[in-house]
Structure formats: structure tokens, C-alpha cells
Amino acid sequence: MDWLNYHHLHYFWVVAREGSVTRACEVLHLSQPTISGQIRELEKAMKAPLVEKSGRGLALTETGRAVFRYADDIFALGRELMDVVSGRPVGQPVRLRVGVVDILPKLIAHLLIEPALRLPDPVRVVCVEGKLDRLAAELTIHNLDVVLSDTPLPPTVKAKVYTHQLGECGVVVVGVPKLVEAYKAGFPKSLDGAPFLLPTEGTVLRRSLDQWFDAQGVRPLIRGEFEDSAQLKTFGRSGEGVFAVPAAAERDVKRHYGVRRIGRAAGLRERFYAISVERKLKHPAVVAISEQARLRLTAPAGR
């Protein structure tokens, strides 16, 4: 069995936390050659480089970031152990590192993550936003616990992860009151020539909307295309056009952006997924997200 030298790990952890060997020397009251030598020994044990030069400082390699995450948990658990045996109060929050695909509506991300914050034991959420392929890569080296997405991981992305469908909901078209008054009657045919704000091409919702427009025989006037869903809604709030949102987020969109429903896009469905390295979800906060997601996504918009 390979044994981990926790002294080496601790020196590496302090260097990674402080951002340089020099600052770690001040914290540990040790010389630079001593700390550098300890990190080299740890790299030999790990059979991989953990740090690399970056300007005047150091940067963690991918392996280094994974080791740092584990070290963070190990030493947090050690501090909790000392608190327990010393009779001091414990209860550090469980950390949930969640990746959110950048095109996922922020209100949906909040809707899905919120149950994790309602657990009896406190949870500290760390949210990272990015492209699905990059977040999947972070998953595989255990920098994230789960990724939330509106699409499964495509087969072109080679990562040993598992996709869990959380649930689905309908799609509604909304707008400011003057646009509701103009386009509600005769919906969806009324959308022909109507000013519309759309997600950028290549997104799941955009493809679905384009197909739906064709099926309804309407051709709206596209007033804007947006990568960021919050920016799209901001333009919608100013009355630049109508826009589509997942029905599960309708109540919050109405409250935050002052819009009302024009109509439901019959036949359109938005699906949402949790992607993890586990075939069966185990992290208590991720389990809470999964268990509550279907109910929250399918609940009436006016709940």
C-alpha cells in the first residue's frame, strides 16, 4: 500500500493556499529549500507535477488543483476532529462545488440548487460557470461535485461521467404589458412579425424555438440574440421584444422583469440534467437537488 506523507501534503497545501513558496515560508517559519524539497517529495509520491512557474509566482497543475481540493477537505476534517475531542462546537458547512453551464438560465440554476441550502446541516455552495466541456473536465479531476446543464454531455466530449435527468418543463412566451396587449390575441399566429429576443444559435432552446416557429408558420422579427440569458431578459424588460422562458421560472421572471405571459409554446419542453462522476449520486447536497428537481420543475408557474 502507498502511504501519504501528511507533512509533505501540509506544506504543499500552505503553498497552494498562499500562492507562493515565499509567503508559505513566512507562515510555516521554514526555509525555502526545505519547503521546495518537501513539495518535490510529494510530487514523486504522486508521480505527477503539482506546481509550475507562472510569472513571479506559482500555479497549480490540473493534478495540483485536485490534490489541493482533497488536502483542503483532509485538513478541515482534521480541525473538526480536534474540535470534537476538545469539546469545542463543530458544524462546518458541507461544501458543494457546482458547475453551471453558462447558457443555463440563472433563475433555473437557483431553483435547482436551492434545496441543497435547505438541508438540516449547513451547506456552503461554490458556483463555477463555464462551457460544458470545460466543466466536465473539472468534474473528472474532482474540482467539482456536479454540473447542471440543459443538455446531456455530447459523445464528442470524452469524459468518464454520468448524466442524470433532473426533470423537464414547458416553455412560455412573455413580454412587457404593451407587447402582451399587442400579441396575446391570436397567439401563436400573432407572433408573425413580432419583435423577438432569442438565445444565440447552437443552444438547445434556440433550436427548439426555430423548429416551433416553422411548425406554427410564423416568422418573428428577431431584434436580438444573446448568449447571456440575464442580458436577454434585461432587454426584454425594456420592451425591445418578447422572449421565451422555461415555465418553471415564469413566476420569478415576472417578478424580476415586469413581464406577463403572452402564451404557452405548446409542444416545447426544456430538460435539465445533473452530470457527475458517480453512477449513483451520493453527495447529500446533490441528492437533495436531484430529489427536489422534478417537483420544482413541474410545479405550476404560479406556485
Q: What is the tens place of the pLDDT at every residue in 79-90?
A: 777 766 655 555
pTM of the model: 0.70
pLDDT tier at 122, thresholds 50, 70, 90: confident
CB contact at 8 A, 298 and 181: no
Q: What is the pLDDT of residue 100?
A: 96
How much of the chain, in percent, has pLDDT values that exceed 90? 55
Q: What are the pLDDT digits (tens) for 127-152?
A: 999 999 889 888 888 889 999 999 98
Helix, strand, coil content of the chain in percent (nearest 5) = 45, 25, 30
Q: What is the pLDDT of residue 266?
A: 95
Query: How many Cα atoms are found within 13 Å in the side-chain-facing hemisphere of 18?
Result: 16
6-86: CATH number: 1.10.10.10
- Please check whether the two domains, 6-86 and 94-303, share a CATH topology: no
pLDDT tier at 95, thresholds 50, 70, 90: confident
Higher local confidence (pLDDT), 81 or 271: 271
Q: What is the pLDDT of residue 303?
A: 38
Q: What is the pLDDT of residue 248?
A: 94
Higher local confidence (pLDDT), 157 or 39: 39
Mean residue pLDDT across the chain:
89
Higher local confidence (pLDDT), 218 or 15: 218
pLDDT tier at 2, thresholds 50, 70, 90: low
N-to-C CA span, the chain: 55
Locate the DSSP E strands across 79-188: 94-101, 123-130, 146-149, 162-175
Q: What is the pLDDT of residue 90?
A: 54
Question: Residue 85: what are its φ and ψ, rounded to 5°?
Answer: -70, -20
Average pLDDT over residues 67-75: 88
DSSP character at residue 93: P
pLDDT tier at 301, thresholds 50, 70, 90: very low
Farthest CA pair distance, the chain: 77
Parse the chain into domains and list their residue ranges. Answer: 6-86, 94-303
pLDDT tier at 78, thresholds 50, 70, 90: confident
Average pLDDT over residues 244-260: 95
Average pLDDT over residues 112-137: 91
All three cell numbers of 296: 420544482
Average pLDDT over residues 220-230: 94
- Is pLDDT at 15 greater than 70 in this prediction? yes
CATH class, range 94-303: alpha beta
Q: What is the pLDDT of residue 195?
A: 98
CB contact at 8 A, 243 and 197: yes
Q: What is the pLDDT of residue 299?
A: 65
Higher local confidence (pLDDT), 156 or 83: 156
